[in-house]
């Protein structure tokens, strides 16, 4: 835990958190779920030339059952796909593009093959449930799974959109698999996959009071 506390010290954005963490762990096999325009992929691939395989998972298409503001039209997603390809072109030999939803493409990734996966796709309850359950087995023993939008409040967007439930679902997931979970600044979470470990939630931000949802819900 001390090491993680050092990694997050004085960070001003999520990129610095992951830079510090990955600089320490030096992963070679990485996946990102939800790539969008490729900003995170570009950054990580540039900073870590030792990454041999960087799997980019995204459908880059309109999804009829994803009620979030980022769910734009197909033409727009097509341009985001080209943007993601353009900004990671320098690493074309190291990137693997799996164009599809997690459920459509995750079977292409062998179990126990990844050092690190970054989950940043569909942040609804359905999305984070599917992504964690599908991607966790892909992580090696001793590896890490982290992600974005781990916010104490579920109403990230106006009420006509689905709430974001990365928190508290990730907490319940870590408890279910008996893993150590860290809440880090800039709405990032990190789970360490280690057999024989017990569930512990280290909130390094002091922002996550309760996993209960009652106070955030109003009867319509
Ligand atoms: C927040 S953006 C990702 C941002 C990117 N990780 C970054 O840091 O630059 C969310 C992305 O998740 C993708 N997405 C939505 N549902 C998905 C699913 N079921 N499986 C995989 N990706 C999904 C969307 O197409 C969108 O591009």
Ligand 1 center–CA 111 separation, angstroms: 22
C-alpha 180/C-alpha 189 separation (Å) is 11
Rounded mean pLDDT, 132-143 = 98
When the pLDDT of each residue in the chain is averaged and rounded to a whole number, the result is 97
CB atoms within 10 A of CB 86: 12
Confidence check: pLDDT of 136 > 70: yes
Domain ranges of the chain: 2-216
Give residues with Cβ within 8 angstroms of 92, minimum separation 6.
Answer: none
Q: Which of 167, 73, 70, 85 is nearest to 122 (CA)?
A: 70
Token pair 């280290």 is found at: 202
Given pLDDT bands bounded at 50, 70 and 90, which one contains residue 1? confident
Ligand 1 center–CA 122 separation, angstroms: 6
Rounded mean pLDDT, 190-196 = 97
Closest protein CA for atom 27 of ligand 1: 36
C-alpha 72/C-alpha 76 separation (Å) is 6
| Structural contact between residues 150 and 186, judged by C-beta atoms closer than 8 angstroms | no
Give the bridge partners for 53, in sequence order.
29
Class of domain 2-216: alpha beta
- Looking from the CA of residue 120, the nearest atom of ligand 1 is 6
Higher pLDDT among residues 2 and 63, named by residue: 63
Q: For 21-66, write each residue's pLDDT tens digit.
A: 999 999 999 999 999 999 999 999 999 999 999 999 999 999 999 9
Ligand 1 center–CA 48 separation, angstroms: 22
| Structural contact between residues 208 and 167, judged by C-beta atoms closer than 8 angstroms | yes
- Looking from the CA of residue 70, the nearest atom of ligand 1 is 26
- Looking from the CA of residue 121, the nearest atom of ligand 1 is 12
Whether the predicted model's global pTM rises above the 0.95 cut: yes
C-alpha 62/C-alpha 186 separation (Å) is 27
Q: Please give the pLDDT value at position 124.
A: 98
C-alpha 145/C-alpha 149 separation (Å) is 14
Instruction: Decide whether any atom of ligand 1 lies within 6 Å of the 40 Cβ.
Output: yes
Confidence check: pLDDT of 135 > 90: yes
C-alpha 178/C-alpha 159 separation (Å) is 33
| Structural contact between residues 118 and 18, judged by C-beta atoms closer than 8 angstroms | yes
Give residues with Cβ within 8 angstroms of 90, minimum separation 6.
Answer: 45, 46
Ligand 1 center–CA 161 separation, angstroms: 16
Mutate to test the pocket of ligand 1, among 17, 36, 166 (most ligand atoms within 8 A of CB): 36
């Amino acid at each position: 835990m001390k090491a993680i506390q050092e990694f997050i010290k004085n960070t001003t954005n999520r990129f610095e958190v992951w830079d510090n963490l990955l600089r320490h762990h030096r992963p070679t096999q990485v996946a990102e779920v939800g790539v969008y325009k490729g900003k995170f992929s570009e950054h990580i691939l540039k900073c870590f030339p030792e990454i041999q395989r960087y799997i980019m998972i995204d459908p880059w298409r309109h999804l009829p059952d994803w009620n979030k503001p980022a769910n734009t039209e197909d033409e727009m997603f097509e341009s985001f796909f080209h943007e993601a390809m353009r900004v990671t072109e320098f690493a074309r030999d190291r990137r693997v593009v799996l164009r599809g939803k997690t459920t459509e493409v995750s079977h292409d990734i062998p179990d126990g093959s990844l050092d690190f996966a970054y989950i940043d796709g569909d942040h609804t309850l359905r999305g984070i449930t599917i992504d964690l359950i599908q991607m966790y087995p892909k992580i090696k023993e001793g590896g890490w799974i982290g992600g974005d939008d781990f916010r104490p409040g579920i109403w990230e967007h106006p009420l006509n959109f689905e709430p974001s439930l990365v928190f508290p679902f990730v907490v319940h997931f870590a408890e279910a698999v008996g893993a150590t979970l860290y809440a880090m600044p800039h709405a990032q979470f990190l789970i360490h996959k280690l057999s024989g470990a017990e569930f512990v939630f280290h909130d390094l931000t002091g922002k996550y009071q309760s996993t209960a949802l009652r106070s955030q819900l109003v009867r319509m």
